[in-house]
Amino acid sequence: MVNKVMSAKDVVASIQDGMTIGIGGWGPRRKPMALVRELLRSDVKDLTVVSYGGADVGMLCAAGKVKKLIFAFVTLDFIPLEPYFRKARQNGDIEVVEVDEGQMLLGLKAAAMRVPYIPTRIGLGTDLVKHNPQIKVIDSPYDSKEWVAMPALNLDVALLHVDKADARGVCQISGPDMYMDDLYARAAKKTFVSCDELVETSAFDSAENSRLVFWERSETTGVVHLPCGAHPTSCGPAYGFDTKHFKEYATGAKEESGWSDYVAKYVNCTEQEYLDKVGGADAIKRLPLPVF
């Protein structure tokens, strides 16, 4: 029986310069941040990143790892504007393909379906088609209208975080939303998943648990056991996002040395040291879920 358990280092070792990587989650929610930190510790560069962006995008931009960003938004939600993403954009440091949230879903879906594009009305009449020359407007074989052909977002690698997984790559998301993680898994050549808990396959015997599995294990390349691996983002229902940590991160960004200070404190260390610095796993599990 296949055993897909690996380390975060193994995951990053399979990411090469210039690859296109998709990062699951949404804004400050269920991002594979421990895997992102491992990526920050590596020499990998010139990445094309596809993300419903939060601090994952901000940090990769701050570290100079992003060549091109495919995004619909980058936000920490309760802090609306992501500071390092803003700097990168305002300095013209990164190429961007700015798309609608739903268009991004269609691009991932097209990749998952192995078709070159999905037609949509989204983007017509807007500057998306002006600023993204690679997104074409086409004629329909069935009517006399123009439509946008949203190109497939083929990913080399997807990085995701879930609450439970087994060694074969069966992954469970118990939070209220899987966002587009299922599509990222299907759109990627290789999908690496960090999990809060590594469980026996028998954990999925129950209908309740198996209903919370949203892609087949054949879509999972590797599983990394990283407790609290989404921190400082949330992994509902287990823990909410860490507002105190995000405030420190965003306040630091106002200083010239903000990013290097953050790296020195929270990146240049082991994950165990990281967890100790942010208060430990028990404190993380007490972080309240946000109320909207």
Partner 1 sequence: MSSEVSLVDRIICAAAQAWKDDGEVLATGIGLVPRLAASLCMKSVNTDIMMTDSEAWIVSEPVPVGPRGDYKIKRETWMGFSRIFDNVWGGKRHAMVGPVQVDRFGQANISMVGGDYARPKSMMLGVRGFPGNSINHANSFFVPNHSKKVFVEGEVDMVASVGYNPARLPKGWALEEMTDIRFIFTNLCVLDFGGPDHQVRLVSLHPGVTAAMVQENTGFPIFLPESVQTTAAPSAAQLAQLAELDPHNLRASALGA
133 interacts with partner 1 by CB under 8 A: no
Nearer to partner 1 by Cβ, of 98 and 197: the residue is: 98
Q: How far is the CB of 237 from partner 1 (least distance, A)?
A: 11
Is residue 286 close enough to count as binding partner 1 by CB under 8 A? no
**Structure tokens, 78:** 């309760």
**What one-character DSSP code corresponds to residue 217?**
G
Cβ-based burial of 244 (10 A; exposed 0-12, middle 13-18, buried ≥19): exposed
Q: Does 185 bind partner 1 (CB under 8 A)?
A: no
266 binds partner 1 (CB under 8 A): no
3-class secondary-structure state, position 276: helix
Indicate the residue among 85 and 262 with the shorter CB distance to partner 1: 85
User: Minimum Å distance from CB 118 to partner 1?
Assistant: 11
Kindly state the smallest distance separating residue 228's Cβ from partner 1, in Å.
21
Which structure tokens are listed for 26?
């949404």
Number of alpha carbons in the 13 Å side-chain half-sphere of residue 64: 5
The Cα 270–Cα 226 span in angstroms is 12
Please check whether residue 198 is in contact with residue 223, taking contact to mean a CB–CB distance below 8 angstroms. Answer: yes
Q: Radius of gyration over alpha carbons of the chain, in Å? A: 19
- Give the containing element (helix H, strand E) for 105: helix 101-113
The continuous run of DSSP H or E covering 174 comes out as none
Nearer to partner 1, 18 or 237 (CB): 237
146 binds partner 1 (CB under 8 A): yes
Q: Which range, of 33-41, 123-131, 253-261, 266-274, touches partner 1 by CB under 8 A?
A: 123-131
Sign of the torsion formed by the C-alpha atoms of 206, 207, 212 and 213? positive
Binding of partner 1 by 123 (CB under 8 A): yes
Q: If you ran DSSP here, which 8-state letter would residue 6 be given?
A: -
Confirm or reject binding of residue 128 to partner 1 (CB under 8 A): yes
Work out whether 125 is an interface residue with partner 1 (CB under 8 A): yes
> For residues 221 and 234, which CB has a smaller minimum distance to partner 1 in the complex?
234
Do 50 and 56 contact (CB within 8 A), yes or no? Answer: no
71 or 192: CB nearest partner 1? 71
Nearest distance in Å: CB 155, partner 1: 17
Chain positions 15 to 74 lying near partner 1, rule: CB under 8 A, are 26, 53, 71-74
Q: Is 98 in the site for partner 1 (CB under 8 A)?
A: yes
> What does the alpha-carbon distance between residue 103 and residue 109 come to, in Å, rounded to a whole number?
10
Which residue in this structure is represented by tokens 């949404």? 26
Site for partner 1 (CB under 8 A): how many residues?
47
Give me the residue label for tokens 């209908």.
207
Is 292 a residue that touches partner 1 (CB under 8 A)?
yes
The structure tokens listed for 162 are 């879930």
Nearer to partner 1, 103 or 233 (CB): 103
Binding site for partner 1 (CB under 8 A): 26, 53, 71-75, 80-81, 85-86, 89-92, 98-103, 105, 120-128, 130-131, 137, 139, 143-146, 176-180, 183, 291-292
